[in-house]
Chain A
Amino acid sequence: MVKKKYTIIVVLILVLNFFGNAQKPSGENWLDIDNVPDEDAICFALYTVNNNILKLTAQLYPLQKDVDRIVKLQIQKEGQWKTIAATLVSEESYGWPQEDEKQWTAHFRIEEWDSSQDYRYRVLAAGEKATYEGLVRKDPVEKEEIVVAGFTGNGNYDRRLKPDIIKNIKAQDPDLLFFSGDQSYDHEQHLQAWLLFGQQFGEIIKDRPTVCLPDDHDIGQGNVWGEAGIKANSNAGNDGGYYYSAQYVNSVQNAQTWHLPDGYDPTPVERGIGVYYTSLKIGKIDFAILEDRKFKTGPKGLIPPMGPRPDHITDPEYDYMTVDLPEGIILGDRQLRFLDEWGQEWQGINMKVALSQTIFANAAHRHGKYDYTLFADMDSNGWPQSARNRALESMRKFFGFHIAGDQHLATVIHHGINQYRDAGFSFCVPSIVNYYNRWWTPLKEPDGKPVPGSLDGLGDYYDGFHNKVTMYAYANPSEKRKNKWGGEWGERAAGYGLVRLNVKTRDIKMECWPRGVDVTTADAEQYEGWPITINQMDNYGREAIAYLPEIKVSGMENPVVQVIYEPTEEIVYTVRFQGSQFQPKVFKEGTYTVKIGEQPNNLKTFYGINAQEDEKIDKVLNIDF
């Protein structure tokens, strides 16, 4: 009898939690971090290896006063543990609003790392009473298929562990984990939230490279338009900048991104806020790691109010042209320059993928509650439109595929700039715990060429900012999806994405897995509409206006090809072609320079090549290496 009563109370608490406000009042002690035994002092560890540099962050719980502060990193060599580095745990303050907490991170950067084989590692702390073991994987250069698991939005109304995800990820064994943002929803308690995140995901993170990007909730805001680090006046953030202290933002980045490869240009923005955008090679895939919030322009005061919030447009009569700010920023000059430079580097690389917080579209019609329709949401990267187009233009120049999150609504979109489908594909992954529902419910039939699939409302649409988007799949919250792991997760369209990148065929297969599914069973089902397979070449979907002569290469397979439009010296694209015979497409007539071969030293350059409208030109360019 007593037991039954207890069960009812637990159920009640769960229900209350479920319906309760996700942003708990700060200071609430929902995770006891101050009385962790020395033996358990290490919560988890994250790492990446890039260009033979291992970077690893160990996140510790707060240490007691007289516990030793040195943290060591050991690797196993010939069965023996060998210390390769030591550091002091960071006791820097987290900064307001958590100025009484310390960072408790230990960072290791090891050069000349041998990435040709797996190494077991362990972290030792608290006078070696605490140990934490994991695996630094070798660089999977010989693997044909590189698997990325993508996560977003770890809503805090459910703080339980995630055994379903852990089991599935262990089975699917991805080569890279990508957490696109909102790992924490505890706006004023990132330390605790991050430790909880470590409890939830450490078990899969410790054994493979992981990319985390802090997003708005991680730094304590409902939304963030970073405007290069200025101070925001409220934690709604819509006047641009960051509300909490620069130190807090840096502490969040310290925890989540220190282990990323060294920044491409780490010059801090305003108020000393750090910058981490960079790239990471996994096998023959090169990932750009972008910050699409930090530099972005905030909407408040720049555009006329057209709804209850500066960032929400609910007025059906609104003119999308009035909100486009030609000078508005999303990635900003620094990151666009990075993409332009990095996009040209193809040494040892077959495919390029961009990772960022969110997608370049405003692909949802209903927000929060089903009845609340929004025409446009400026927190999405559909806005400002000009900046959105600039980003997509940069990304298609390297045939870039884009993985992101944040939207709470899984989608696969083929983006258009001037025409439908003339840029790349994005996969917005579903939330781990879906804090805020969104729905794709277009009112009209799509334009143009149909997209295959059983879902309604696939195909060419304008999003709320009149951006051209072609919907391939979406995973709306649905009563239909009650699964055995807990109805609320299925209902709210929670889950994760998996992307299989085949470096040989160049196919990109997107999978979208709901929470609670056991992927090891035969009847495991993805969200309706998935999987979707595209090819790398689809990421510059623009139709050819003209063609260069067919190129036949001997003495080399799969060369890197760069096409440059001579009158303006603009790089049209750079990509590693497949095979030894191909005909580069271009988008206007004229003369082109073509560079072919292997970077950096085995390139041949051909100037003054004429592009012609007719694909079937007789002329063949034979190139011997």
Chain B
Amino acid sequence: MNKITILLPSSLLFFLGCQSQQEADKEHTKPNIIYILADDLGYGDLGCYGQQKIETPNIDALAVSGIRFTQHYTSSPVCAPARCMLLTGLHSGHAQIRGNDEWADRGDVWDFEAMAKNASLEGQRPLKAGTQTIGTLLKQAGYKTGIVGKWGLGGPLTEGIPNNQGFDFFYGYNCQRQAHTFFPVHLWKNTEKVPLNNKMIPPHTLLPKEADPFDPESYNDFWLTDYASELMQNELIQFIKNNKNEPFFMYYANPIPHVPLQAPKRWVDYYVKKFGDEEPYTGDKGYFPHRYPLAAYAAMVSYLDEQVGEIVALLKELGLYENTIIVFSSDNGPSFNGGTDSPWFDSAHPFKSEQGWGKANLTEGGIRIPMIAQWPGKIEPGTKTDLLSAQYDVLPTLCEIVGIEPEGKIDGISFLPTLTGEGNQNAHEFIYWEFPASGGQQALRMGKWKGIRKNIFQDDLQILLYNLEEDVQEQNDVSDQYPEIVQKIDSIFLQEHTPAELDRFKIKQFGD
């Protein structure tokens, strides 16, 4: 494994060809777009964002040959709503899905045995039929559209499935709960339920009491046969190969490094060697136990990185590299459960990543995410931007790239001028969030200011104010000193919130 590090410099090379003529020819060719969304990967989890322990040479290579965003935000701090807003270009005051809703009125949706037999128990609350998504828009623009990975925006038998929401191809987890194991008993390929060669080990199974937690053999039930991540990568590769002659859009909703901690042994071994021995995780904080939880987390990130490297190599092999945009980002900040230790990795660096500050919170650690874009010949290598932007900007950006207009009002602003360094970049006056969970939260980023409400459900509507230029960890509330800023934030909160259609996402304190 050491070899990977040694090879790092040469793998990061960017070649400057005689591009003018080639470029001119490509003006007429629509670029392929691959948008990779990691799951619960923190702002500080990548080498190119300052990670010191986990190695991510391939993703770093994207950064060095492309652009890094340092002020990019998810639209929502958990899986389903983040994905909804990414795909629809609307912020959490306007979006359909504003939280993770397991849609429990269908029955016991946490019974994995039952779910395996009854697809109507799978999945999350669906996107409505006829929703405008990146998928529907790029299809209009002549793209072949695919999603591989974790969907989470509508159960298998609903109008919300990917094939009804603008995607020609789907392979992966329909359901976020199913993604609580990387060895599920089935995955979905379009509308077909594909059985896998794994025995049923329900997520959140603990290490048996009689088992020796220090014996790696005790964990055999948590590494089975068909590893979902590998299967998904294979399908993704096939999708690219199948569509190499026409423009394609691939939304790779990669389920890594979301827990459970399940990573290929070679990578775990690599990090055990690097970090040394450690305390086992026996499963008391959910998901699955692991003999080497720290090594496993790092292993998952490096495996994801390896997958990215494989995609880049494939594009080069197929001659598609020069005309493909690759975007890499994450759905929200780092996790706090399932045996992860985000503070040890400083996964949200320079922000706080402890429980209550990372995933599922509107604090910076929960919503500030890495975003890297690479587009040979269009994006200047090694660029870094502090443009204030959000995932709900991705839809208008992709629309501008392919030359179409979304219908209706979109909250996002295209950041294409920042990517290419050409044209005028329109700026957000603010980025808005509301989150009808974790005590009820609402936040606004406006210039250097961050306003946040943390306990709305307890009727606490106080707005805390932080100056992020001086206080990235949101420790020093200055709302007393800047009442006019707080006032302005309050009025924007009022203006941007619209009541959700789904009861689950309504906030009664706002009169919904």
| Chain A contact residues, CB within 8 Å of chain B | 65-66, 68-72, 83-88, 90, 92, 105-112, 127, 250, 258, 272
Contacts and interface: CB of A to CB of B under 8 A. Distances in A.
B331 interface: no
B16 A87 contact: no
A266 to B, nearest CB: 11
A87 B5 CA distance: 14
Interface in B47-81: 47-48, 50, 60, 63-65, 68
Give the 10 A-B residue pairs with the shortest CB-CB distance, closest first.
Answer: A86-B382, A86-B381, A72-B382, A86-B64, A85-B14, A107-B9, A84-B16, A87-B12, A70-B382, A83-B380
Contacts of A108: 13
A88 B381 contact: no
B15 A112 contact: yes
B381 A69 contact: no
Interface string B419-452: 0000000000000000000000000000000000
Nearest to B19: A112
B382 A71 contact: yes
27 contacts: A66-B50, A68-B384, A70-B64, A71-B382, A83-B380, A83-B382, A83-B383, A84-B16, A84-B381, A85-B13, A85-B16, A85-B382, A86-B14, A86-B381, A87-B12, A87-B64, A87-B382, A88-B8, A88-B12, A88-B64, A90-B9, A106-B9, A108-B13, A111-B17, A112-B15, A112-B18, A272-B6
Contacts of B15: 85, 110-112
Interface in B376-394: 380-384
B276 interface: no
A387 B473 CA distance: 66
A109 B10 contact: yes
B350 interface: yes
Contacts of A83: 380-383
Contact of B17 (A72, A92, A112): A112
B48 A69 contact: yes
A70 B384 contact: yes
Contacts of B48: 69-70, 88
Contacts of B381: 72, 83-86
A106 B10 CA distance: 10
A374 to B, nearest CB: 40
A83 B384 CA distance: 13
Given A87-B64, A92-B5, A127-B384, 17 more contacts: A65-B50, A70-B48, A83-B380, A83-B383, A85-B14, A85-B15, A85-B16, A85-B381, A86-B382, A87-B382, A88-B8, A88-B48, A92-B6, A108-B13, A110-B16, A112-B18, A272-B6
Interface centre among B8, B12, B18 (most CB of A within 10 A): B12
A109 B15 CA distance: 8
Interface centre among A66, A86, A111 (most CB of B within 10 A): A86
Interface centre among B14, B48, B350 (most CB of A within 10 A): B14
A296 B18 CA distance: 43
Contacts of B13: 85, 87, 108-109
Nearest to B9: A107
Given A108-B13, A250-B6, A86 B65 contact: yes
Given A83-B380, A84-B381, A112 B12 contact: no
A117 B283 CA distance: 64
A88 B350 contact: no
Contacts of B384: 68, 70, 127
A78 to B, nearest CB: 14
A272 B64 CA distance: 27
Nearest to A72: B382
Contacts of B10: 107, 109
B355 to A, nearest CB: 24
Interface string B356-383: 0000000000000000000000001111
Interface in B65-124: 65, 68
A88 B5 CA distance: 12
Nearest to B3: A272
A597 to B, nearest CB: 31
Given A70-B382, A72-B381, A88 B47 contact: yes
Given A111-B17, A112-B18, A258 B9 contact: yes
A610 B254 CA distance: 74
A112 B382 contact: no
A82 to B, nearest CB: 8
Contacts of B6: 92, 250, 272
Contacts of A111: 15-17
A71 B350 CA distance: 21
A107 B6 CA distance: 12
A72 B17 CA distance: 17
B2 to A, nearest CB: 8
Contacts of B5: 92
Contacts of B16: 84-85, 110-112
Nearest to B18: A112
A85 B383 CA distance: 10
Contacts of A87: 9, 12-14, 64, 382
Nearest to B349: A66
B139 to A, nearest CB: 34
A85 B384 CA distance: 14
B453 to A, nearest CB: 30
A250 B14 CA distance: 23
Contacts of B383: 83, 86
Nearest to B70: A68
Interface in B270-311: none
A100 to B, nearest CB: 14
A180 B6 CA distance: 25
A359 to B, nearest CB: 33
Interface string B5-43: 110111011111110000000000000000000000000
Nearest to A103: B9
A326 to B, nearest CB: 37
Contacts of A65: 50
B166 to A, nearest CB: 34
A69 B47 contact: yes
A127 B13 CA distance: 19
A412 B103 CA distance: 88
A110 B383 CA distance: 18
A106 B14 CA distance: 13
Contacts of A112: 15-18
Contacts of B8: 88, 90, 92
Interface centre among A66, A69, A88 (most CB of B within 10 A): A88
Contacts of A86: 12, 14, 64-65, 381-383
Contacts of A71: 382
A109 B64 CA distance: 13
Nearest to A65: B50
B112 to A, nearest CB: 42
B214 to A, nearest CB: 29
A36 to B, nearest CB: 19
A127 B385 CA distance: 11
A258 B10 CA distance: 10
Given A110-B15, A110-B16, A66 B382 contact: no
B8 to A, nearest CB: 7
Contacts of A109: 10, 13
A229 to B, nearest CB: 15
A87 B384 CA distance: 13
B47 to A, nearest CB: 7
Contacts of A85: 13-16, 381-382
Nearest to A111: B15
Interface centre among B48, B60, B64, B65 (most CB of A within 10 A): B64
B496 to A, nearest CB: 33
Contacts of B17: 111-112
B350 A66 contact: yes
A258 B6 CA distance: 12
A71 B63 CA distance: 11
